[in-house]
Structure 1
């Protein structure tokens, strides 16, 4: 498994990944992924193997707070460590960018994701009613150890 930065050439593969990974009302469009790539405060990465995108993630840092905006994994590639590796990369990037905490929202019935985030040290801090169609979101937080000497422009995934 290789991890690399997402480029515009990868957008069709990300849209296909969304279709396999999320219900219709929860999918990001090509325009959503393009906006992630165009935003200056984002890390957008993917794992791939033998020319196939297996998982992708997007993170952002605003001030001292980082957010995990998205992790999507192809169903046939789940439970192989891709999400955990992308999450770890995002945590390291956020710390290097000076963030002192990371937040995320996860669907309340997504047991595998909840378990992944708990293993990584995230704790539930709030609940958002009907955040997803027919489901609540659990808001989770993890305290980070920012690396004040390294700025966000120094980190490179390519």
Structure 2
């Protein structure tokens, strides 16, 4: 069974663990790179700050083991779904569905008109997940970088 928990800055250790695992396991899926969050960047104050400045942060667990994460950030007036990652052991078990639904529910409770997100064009499993949850392609993302195209997806609420 998939459980979710809304994180606070006091949960920085579990967020750190999940974020570092995500950047290690799926480096091409994110705008950040592992090196940005290691060394001098790997300090409690920075992890707490990340959980403070991004409005909504959630982790999922399966049988008591951290299994994924996602965040919802304000991109006024919309909510942007960011930092979605599911641990390999938990894929295909509904974790991604639960995390996406959690952000959509939160955005709706905040009266956001839409949830938006950017996804790398070659991330087929993520694109399938987002389409399953009613997201539609809305053109190239502003986050696209040369050699790494991204598409903006939108879901109206």
Instruction: Verify same fold: TM over 0.5.
Output: yes
1:9 aligned onto 2:22: no
1:111 aligned onto 2:124: yes
1:83 aligned onto 2:96: yes
Contact kept? 2:16, 2:47, Cα under 8 Å: no
Contact kept? 2:119, 2:126, Cα under 8 Å: yes
Residue 118 to residue 42, structure 1, CA distance change in 2 (3 Å): same
Distance 1:134 1:93 in 2: 33
Q: How does 1:9-158 map to 2 (within 5 A)?
A: 9-14=13-18, 15-23=20-28, 26-27=32-33, 29=37, 34-39=48-53, 42-128=55-141, 131-132=144-145, 134-144=147-157
Distance 1:76 1:133 in 2: 32
Q: After TM superposition, give the deviation of residue 83 of structure 1 in Å.
A: 0.9
Residue 64 to residue 129, structure 1, CA distance change in 2 (3 Å): closer
Distance 2:52 2:23 in 1: 19
Which structure shows the higher helix fraction?
A: 2
Contact kept? 2:62, 2:90, Cα under 8 Å: no
For the aligned residue pairs, the C-alpha RMSD in angstroms reads 2.5
Contact kept? 1:21, 1:73, Cα under 8 Å: no
TM-score normalised over the length of structure 1: 0.78
Distance 1:140 1:46 in 2: 22
Residue 94 to residue 67, structure 1, CA distance change in 2 (3 Å): same
Residue 25 to residue 101, structure 1, CA distance change in 2 (3 Å): closer
Residue 25 to residue 99, structure 1, CA distance change in 2 (3 Å): closer
Q: After TM superposition, give the deviation of residue 130 of structure 1 in Å.
A: 7.7
TM-score normalised over the length of structure 2: 0.78
Task: Show structure 1 runs of 4+ deviating over 6 A.
Answer: none
Query: Which residue does 1:152 correspond to in 2?
Result: none
How many pairs does the alignment contain? 143
Contact kept? 1:107, 1:132, Cα under 8 Å: no
